[in-house]
Structure 1
């Protein structure tokens, strides 16, 4: 790892945390059974930037630690949710395009994160899975494309 990689990963982690902090006033839209976490749009960045893999992972860990006191999901969300994000980011990095790259975070969050969210919030798994999946679809497809666009613009200007 070089300094440039660590700097990019750190910046992505910081942006993830900032976006989550901005969402806390939205309440359960950021961490309940309906999760439209704008920061999850950053999970599409591994398609074009390898530093985004540790960046979104670390950002998710920090965010989930902050949200643990608000959401009540605790250690399972801190560890489990962050690992799901890491695995999704890695798989996304191996995908050939944005459409297929969107699927890992949508599917993994919809199927896995829903397990403990449905349990702790006492909402049926299927309803939770569908709602988290739809929220992730919105976050990744809309905000993920915005993140890629902005990232490309920033990198283009940085390389001038």
Structure 2
């Protein structure tokens, strides 16, 4: 994606990733682990994809935006949770090593989503700092599980799929 125009293939890739992200997040919500201080969205494993496919970045943002429409934290999560995913995707796209690719989503979500949940729980009161410390850790741990374990599998297995290798800048 070196220029500002998207090819049909890049748009289709982004669309598939957006749909997959939203469906996986809704699936996690069935188990009560998609929203809240203790969460592990299966869809977050996809946040490592910009390392392999730059076209994944807009798809992750749109998919997260759609998934966050069901968030109990309302507009704050729809806006800031989705922006956390966009920031993480852009940062992941520019990482140089596959073992660092899961780190941006973990950090962005721990900080931004942890702050959203804490604000919803306490507002900007004296209890915010304690709530933020707790929520940042719990969101970060869930994100680390999704991104390093499940996302790590994607980073290892997807480059071995011949049909996908042509689409990866480093393999192309």
Aligned position for 2:10: 5
1:87-139 alpha-carbon deviations (Å, 9 max, x no partner): 10000010011222111111111111111102223471101110011011001
Task: Give the superposed CA RMSD.
Answer: 1.8
Contact 2:80/2:116 (<8 A) preserved = no
1:45-86 alpha-carbon deviations (Å, 9 max, x no partner): 000101110011110001001x23xx2x00110010001100
Aligned equivalents of 1:46, 1:26: Cα separation in 2: 27
Mapping of residues 3-152 of structure 1, within 5 Å: 3-27=8-32, 29-65=33-69, 67-68=70-71, 71=72, 73-122=73-122, 124-149=131-156, 151-152=158-159
Q: Which runs of 5+ in 2 are unaligned?
A: 1-5, 123-129, 167-172
The list of structure 1 runs, each at least 4 consecutive aligned residues, that deviate by more than 6 angstroms after superposition, is none
Q: Which runs of 5+ in 1 are unaligned?
A: none
Greater C-alpha Rg? 2
> How many residue pairs are counted as aligned between the two chains?
154
